[in-house]
């Protein structure tokens, strides 16, 4: 696991009216700070990557669909520099993945329907000075191929 990354399996409560699952609580050790909450979507087969933040920590959770979430540790001083982590959150496997600042990350919709991803970052987005650093998902120095791996 990349240094500083935390994963929480989310407990889904099912009953006759529907389902409920908590994503992040302010009274648990995983909680650091609230910046804002937003949902981003991704159409089938689309890759949204790579980006990282120098200040904020992201707390990502797939709330509908099937995704592939990939992290790359490019931090020079990290004991896990160069490592890649893959996660496959979906409707059947609820996860909260906490991504520390400095770790590049992105996701791909690997399902047939639109993917919905909730992010609860620790910072408020500043459009005048965004804490966002991007790389092309397919042409960069990150040794990762977003293609499906058959076999």
116 with 60: CB under 8 angstroms? no
pLDDT over threshold 90, residue 151: no
Residue 9: its pLDDT value, please? 97
Beta bridge partners of 51: 105, 134
- Averaged pLDDT, 67-77: 98
Instruction: Please state, in angstroms and rounded to a whole number, the distance separating the CA atoms of residues 97 and 109.
Output: 16
pTM for the predicted model, two decimal places: 0.95
Does residue 4 register a pLDDT over 90?
yes
| Residue 93 DSSP symbol | B
Q: What's the mean pLDDT when you consider all of the chain?
A: 97
Coil, strand or helix at 74: coil
**Domain positions in the chain:** 6-124
- Beta strands 6-9 and 12-15 are unpaired
DSSP secondary structure letter of residue 107: E
Residues 125-138, mean pLDDT to the nearest whole number: 96
In the predicted model, is pLDDT for residue 136 greater than 90?
yes
Confidence of residue 13 (pLDDT cuts 50, 70, 90): very high
- Please report the pLDDT score of residue 47 as a whole number: 98
Q: Is the pLDDT of residue 29 over 90?
A: yes
CATH architecture of 6-124: Sandwich (2.60)
How many Cα atoms within 13 Å fall on the side-chain side of residue 21? 18
With 90 as the cut, is the pLDDT of residue 107 above it? yes
């Amino acid at each position: 696991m990349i240094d500083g990354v935390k994963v929480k399996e989310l407990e889904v409560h099912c009953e006759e009216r529907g389902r409920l699952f908590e994503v992040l609580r302010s009274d648990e050790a995983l909680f650091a700070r609230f910046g804002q909450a937003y949902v981003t979507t991704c159409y089938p087969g689309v890759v949204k990557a790579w980006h990282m933040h120098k200040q904020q920590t992201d707390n990502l959770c797939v709330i509908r669909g099937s995704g592939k979430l990939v992290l790359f540790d490019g931090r020079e001083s990290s004991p896990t520099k160069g490592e890649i982590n893959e996660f496959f959150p979906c409707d059947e496997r609820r996860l909260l993945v906490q991504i520390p600042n400095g770790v590049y990350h992105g996701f791909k919709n690997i399902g047939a329907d639109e993917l919905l991803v909730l992010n609860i970052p620790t910072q408020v987005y500043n459009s005048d000075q965004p804490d966002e650093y991007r790389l092309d998902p397919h042409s960069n120095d990150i040794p990762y191929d977003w293609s499906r791996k058959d076999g």
